[in-house]
């Protein structure tokens, strides 16, 4: 992730890539076959690969020999290559969350139902119904919710129950998470706390970076400060995950809002993917804290914390968009 590559470009190789890839494969294999054993083995091997990677990184001191290359030429001239790399990586993360978001909005606005409805509305008008296509659509789906009876009337019976609902029951269009969450102050609270926790944790990463770069501090004080700020970040992130799980539990058990409804699928997978990003961030953070603990950060290599921070800010930003879209809308 952020402090990827401290290879000096001399050529000792690294075991990390092959081990981590093998772990990923076994993990996915186990998950597909619903075999907890293999899943766990895969995960273990994946972590082993990560450790191997970090072992190589621990002595990183920010020198060019250790792989901190400088970029030349437009557009990044003078910037560290790793920083350009993390920005590029974040671009693809933007697309990842953009996809989540686009698919969700498509569902929420009934985009695909909408235009088949338009066809039907036109058909109804051709058959003598009054109004325009737009007005019929508005009657059928005021505020994106479905009004079956009014719609049937407006289209002279053309768009009836069987247009909207399948034999196995109503499509779960309108039961979105926000309905339950916004119903009550106490259900909204965890999400609100989480939002603040993440924003605050973005701030503490910046403080850690500032401390690490501060040459006026005595090394011992500096190390302690860096470690403490990072630890606060870790705790805030952990709080986030705990509250999230608590909230999921609440939605599932008290409201029966499960993953097997359409809105539930989107809600749990999207917020879950965000949660995984937070979790991965925390895993990396433990490495940073360990390095701070042994006094590994100073002004020469603290940019690694900065790059980590870029990722962490991104995760924060993603949440700031997810929260209103999934919890309030």
Enumerate residues 153-192 that contact another protein by CB under 8 A.
166-173
At closest approach, how far in Å is the CB of 84 from another protein?
5
Exposed / middle / buried, residue 158 (Cβ in 10 Å: 0-12, 13-18, 19+): middle
- State the nearest-atom distance from the C-beta of 175 to another protein, in Å: 10
98-137 positions binding another protein, by CB under 8 A: 98-100, 103, 106-107, 111-112, 115-116
Q: List the one residue out of 286, 328, 261, 249 whose CA is nearest residue 54.
A: 286
State the nearest-atom distance from the C-beta of 168 to another protein, in Å.
Answer: 5
Q: Which of 199, 235, 269, 317 binds another protein (CB under 8 A)?
A: 269
Burial of 319 (C-beta count, 10 Å sphere; 0-12/13-18/19+): buried
81 is a contact residue toward another protein (CB under 8 A): yes
219: contact with another protein by CB under 8 A: no
State the residue for tokens 């020999």. Answer: 65
Is residue 54 within 8 Å of residue 287, measured between CB atoms?
yes
For residues 225 and 220, give the distance between their C-alpha atoms in angstroms, rounded to a whole number: 9
The smaller minimum CB distance to another protein, of residues 15 and 196, is found at: 15
Residues 6+ apart with CB under 8 A from 30: 36, 37, 38, 39, 40, 41, 42
Q: Considering only 216-224, 260-268, 298-306, 319-327, which stretch makes contact with another protein by CB under 8 A? A: 260-268
Piece of 91-99, 177-185, 245-253, 304-312 that binds another protein (CB under 8 A): 91-99
Cα–Cα nearest to 131, from 40, 308, 304, 140: 140
Residue with Cβ nearer another protein (167 or 218): 167
Site for another protein in 21-60 (CB under 8 A): 21-22, 24-26, 28-29, 31-35, 45, 53
Spatial CA neighbour of 227 closest among 242, 207, 241: 207
265 is a site residue for another protein (CB under 8 A):
yes
Minimum CB distance to another protein, residue 127 (Å): 20
CB of residue 25 vs another protein: minimum separation in angstroms? 4
Segment lying near another protein (by CB under 8 A), choices 2-10, 129-137, 150-158, 280-288: 2-10
3-state secondary structure of 167: coil
Q: Is 91 in the site for another protein (CB under 8 A)?
A: yes
How far apart are alpha carbons 40 and 23 in whole angstroms? Answer: 9
Chain residues 278-307 in contact with another protein, contact rule CB under 8 A:
none
């Amino acid at each position: 992730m952020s402090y990827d590559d401290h290879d000096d470009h001399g050529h000792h190789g690294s075991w990390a890539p092959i081990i981590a890839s093998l772990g990923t494969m076994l993990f996915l294999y186990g998950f597909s076959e619903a075999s907890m054993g293999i899943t766990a083995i895969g995960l273990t091997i994946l972590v082993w690969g990560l450790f191997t990677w970090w072992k190589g990184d621990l002595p990183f001191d920010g020198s060019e020999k250790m792989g901190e290359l400088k970029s030349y030429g437009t557009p990044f001239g003078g910037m560290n290559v790793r920083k350009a790399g993390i920005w590029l990586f974040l671009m693809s993360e933007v697309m990842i969350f953009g996809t989540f978001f686009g698919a969700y909005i498509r569902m929420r606005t009934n985009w695909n139902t909408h235009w088949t409805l338009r066809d039907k509305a036109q058909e109804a008008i051709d058959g003598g119904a009054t109004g325009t296509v737009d007005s019929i659509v508005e009657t059928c789906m005021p505020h994106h919710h479905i009004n079956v009876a009014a719609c049937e009337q407006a289209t002279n019976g053309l768009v009836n129950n069987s247009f909207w609902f399948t034999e196995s029951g109503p499509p779960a269009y309108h039961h979105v998470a926000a309905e339950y969450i916004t119903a009550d102050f106490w259900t909204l609270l965890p999400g609100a706390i989480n939002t603040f926790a993440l924003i605050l944790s973005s701030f503490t990463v910046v403080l850690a970076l500032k401390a690490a770069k501060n040459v006026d501090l005595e090394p011992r004080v500096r190390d302690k400060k860096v470690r403490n700020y990072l630890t606060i970040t870790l705790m805030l992130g952990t709080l986030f995950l705990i509250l999230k799980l608590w909230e999921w539990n609440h939605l599932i058990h008290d409201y029966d809002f499960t993953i097997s409804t359409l809105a539930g699928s989107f809600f749990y997978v999207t917020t879950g993917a965000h949660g995984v990003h937070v979790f991965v961030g925390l895993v990396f953070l433990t490495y940073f804290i360990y390095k701070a603990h042994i006094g590994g950060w100073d002004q020469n290599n603290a940019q690694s914390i900065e790059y980590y921070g870029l990722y962490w800010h991104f995760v924060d930003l993603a949440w700031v968009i997810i929260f209103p879209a999934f919890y309030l809308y």
